[in-house]
Structure 1
Amino acid sequence: MPQITSPLRGEGTNRDRGAMVPRSPAHHPATTTAVALPLRGGKGGGSLRHTGITSMATAQTRTLSRIMMAPAVIVLLIWMIVPLVMTLWFSFQNYSLINPMMTGFAGWANYIYVIGDPSFTQSLVNTLILVGGVLAITVIGGTLLALLLDQPIWGQGILRILVISPFFVMPPVAALIWKNGFMHPGYGMLGHLWKAFGLQPVDWFNQYPLFSVIVIVAWQWLPFATLILLTALQSLSEEQREAAEMDGANALNRFYYIILPHMARAITIVILIQTIFLLGIFAEIRVTTGGGPGYASTNITFLVFRTGILSNDIGAGSAGGVVAVIIANIVAFFLMRAVGKNLDA
């Protein structure tokens, strides 16, 4: 019988099933290439075009924002860099306000004079005592006032306003109020109180000058600490307090194990912000004690003022200002590390 040769696989037709047998893609590379390309107007092309438009819009927005911020950044840099550069330049010069025509390069002589002066060490110690004393009073007192103001008492709103109001008093005005209205031994309120009990009035600014400045500055910053700590205290869940009370915890244990850990971050923020400002205390010392008696109430900031303005030595005063900036940055560096660890905990 004659043999019937079947068509090659992948070619011809399958007449029995009436369907076309698909051809292998390997034999038709053009078909394979056509399948790999996305169709015009399909999802792939639209997505690519959308991504490109978004990237262009983002780049344009960034460029526009940088252009709009540039004037403010330039003004801020000029505001900061120009005084710093001038201070650095004067710190290496022999420049006195008494005879400004006689100038010359002093090298490191101004820095050696400032750091070697015995008043510098005393001023540095006074600065640390001032900052530490104010922080201790404001943090402890602010915590106690926050606990008191958090209680449901009559006239709570008015009481909060009265507690916060000293923060809005200007430092020279606050210093004058305390100097003449409270601490003056002759006609101050504390002097009359001492006399009422048959005691000798205390001359606060001569006998306890640094303590007097600490009290005045702490009075100004106590409302700030109270406000921050009260806000943190009010965010504490009432269910936690009630659960601890039902478990038999007394008030001291509830404060130590629940309230104080909850306020830890707020206390850290208070310490950070106040330290930055307390390193530059000037007006209170200038109005009340003038840095005296001697250098008993002089801090680094007032020492720079004494050297540069009162002694008319701009070179040494500028050197003292540079040293003060370096000390402030060192303190801020370690403080930021401590704050970062506490905030990340």
Structure 2
Amino acid sequence: MAASAGENVMGGTAAPTVAARRPGSWLVMPSVGVLLIWMIVPLVMTVWFSFRFYNLLDPSVHGFAGLDNYTYLVTDPNFWVSLRNTMVLLVAVLVITVGLGTLLAVLFNQPFPGRNVARVLAISPFFVMPTVSALLWKNLLMHPIYGVFGVVAHTFGLQPVDWFAQYPLASVITIVSWEWLPFALLILLTAVQSLDQEQREAARMDGAGVIAQFFFITLPHLSRAISVVIMIETIFLLTIFAEIFVTTSGGPGNATTNLAFLIYSRALLQFDIGGASAGGVVAIILANIVAIFLVRSVARRLEV
């Protein structure tokens, strides 16, 4: 009697195929394929144009450029200034959001009248679009004549400060920190609420004060949450653009030009698609290096 299709030569049942073991994979494959195309096509085009001469205003400039676009990029002083501004913006916002977020998380975990309303108000800025946030700070708060800060300065007989002319990078850091502080607060407040209260009670009975409890109990407990906040914020802060475009347009000079705005200016202001693509490739490489380091750091903490 011939062996059936489901049996092998020795009489045993044949191993099921991958499709048989995972019947749902056929339903996932179209979305995965679309996602891969969505990511790979722009990446391949960016790498391709980075090795080409391509100027939107001069079609006669074309051909293979080799490493000329990259050489021009790294020898341009604006590139190193933008890289420095990117790092300063990143580190400053992380310090402000993580530091204040930790303190506010501990504060909002304490019972006080109107705590729920205060939590909602503290988290709400995260849901405001970056462009709206930048316009709000630029015209409503930091404007030297019509802004709230200028009115307060006039009230006390002081000279109003033109924030975006005198302290442009600090102003952008303030706006971005205001946007991302609620995110850090939300994650850290959730972590604080998961802290074992019996451990704190035991420390209090042993004579530990509020400061000692914070540094030896609360802060170690928040280390994993802080790592997650740093990782997520870093990935997004490397691509800050709207706040700079709306408020300073990278100026005065290149005082607030970060890597994302430099790529924009090369592509849509100077119409140098090849140079902008080279900057995009460099930005992708830097972002992946930072992301790999942060993901490994978070994974090590989660394994502890």
CA-to-partner distance for each residue in 1:111-158, whole Å, 9 max, x for gaps? Answer: 101111001111001000001000001001111111111011111111
Could you tell me how far 1:56 is from its partner in structure 2?
4.1
User: Aligned equivalents of 1:149 and 1:270: distance in 2?
Assistant: 18
Q: Which residue of 2 aligns with 1:166?
A: 125
Q: Which residue of 2 aligns with 1:325?
A: 284
CA-to-partner distance for each residue in 1:32-72, whole Å, 9 max, x for gaps? Answer: xxxxxxxxxxxxxxxxx9x969x64986141x222111101
Greater mean alpha carbon deviation, residues 188-197 or residues 287-296? 188-197
- 8 Å CA contact 2:130–2:243 kept in 1: the answer is yes
- 4+ residue runs of structure 1 moved beyond 6 angstroms? none
| Counterparts in 2 of 1:306 and 1:59: CA distance versus 1, 3 Å | closer
CA-to-partner distance for each residue in 1:167-205, whole Å, 9 max, x for gaps? Answer: 000000000000000111111001111111211111111
SS in 1 for 2:288: helix
Q: Which residue of 1 aligns with 2:71?
A: 112
Q: Which residue of 2 aligns with 1:282?
A: 241
Superposed, which structure 2 residues align to 1:20-169 within 5 Å? 56=16, 60-62=20-22, 64-169=23-128
- AA matched with 2:257: T
User: Aligned equivalents of 1:67 and 1:218: distance in 2?
Assistant: 44
SS in 2 for 1:97: coil
1:335 counterpart = 2:294: yes
Superposed, which structure 2 residues align to 1:195-210 within 5 Å? 195-210=154-169
Runs of 5+ consecutive residues of structure 2 not aligned to the other structure: 1-10
Q: Which residue of 1 aligns with 2:200?
A: 241
- 8 Å CA contact 2:19–2:25 kept in 1: the answer is no
- Tell me which of 289, 293, 316 is aligned to 2:275: 316
SS in 2 for 1:103: coil
Q: Which residue of 1 aligns with 2:170?
A: 211
User: Aligned equivalents of 2:19 and 2:129: distance in 1?
Assistant: 46
Q: Which residue of 1 aligns with 2:6?
A: none
Could you tell me how far 1:334 is from its partner in structure 2?
1.8
User: Aligned equivalents of 1:285 and 1:166: distance in 2?
Assistant: 18
Runs of 5+ consecutive residues of structure 1 not aligned to the other structure: 1-48
| Counterparts in 2 of 1:67 and 1:101: CA distance versus 1, 3 Å | farther
- 8 Å CA contact 2:49–2:273 kept in 1: the answer is yes
Could you tell me how far 1:239 is from its partner in structure 2?
0.8
User: Aligned equivalents of 1:138 and 1:302: distance in 2?
Assistant: 23
Q: Which residue of 2 aligns with 1:10?
A: none
Greater mean alpha carbon deviation, residues 124-133 or residues 151-160? 151-160
Could you tell me how far 1:94 is from its partner in structure 2?
1.0
TM-score normalised per structure 2: 0.93
User: Aligned equivalents of 2:18 and 2:297: distance in 1?
Assistant: 37
1:344 counterpart = 2:303: yes
Paired residues in the alignment total 294
User: Aligned equivalents of 2:17 and 2:56: distance in 1?
Assistant: 57
SS in 2 for 1:276: helix
| Counterparts in 2 of 1:57 and 1:96: CA distance versus 1, 3 Å | closer
- 8 Å CA contact 2:73–2:278 kept in 1: the answer is yes
User: Aligned equivalents of 1:98 and 1:59: distance in 2?
Assistant: 52
User: Aligned equivalents of 2:19 and 2:67: distance in 1?
Assistant: 49
CA-to-partner distance for each residue in 1:239-283, whole Å, 9 max, x for gaps? Answer: 111111010001010111111111110001000000000000000
User: Aligned equivalents of 1:199 and 1:150: distance in 2?
Assistant: 38
User: Aligned equivalents of 1:202 and 1:134: distance in 2?
Assistant: 22
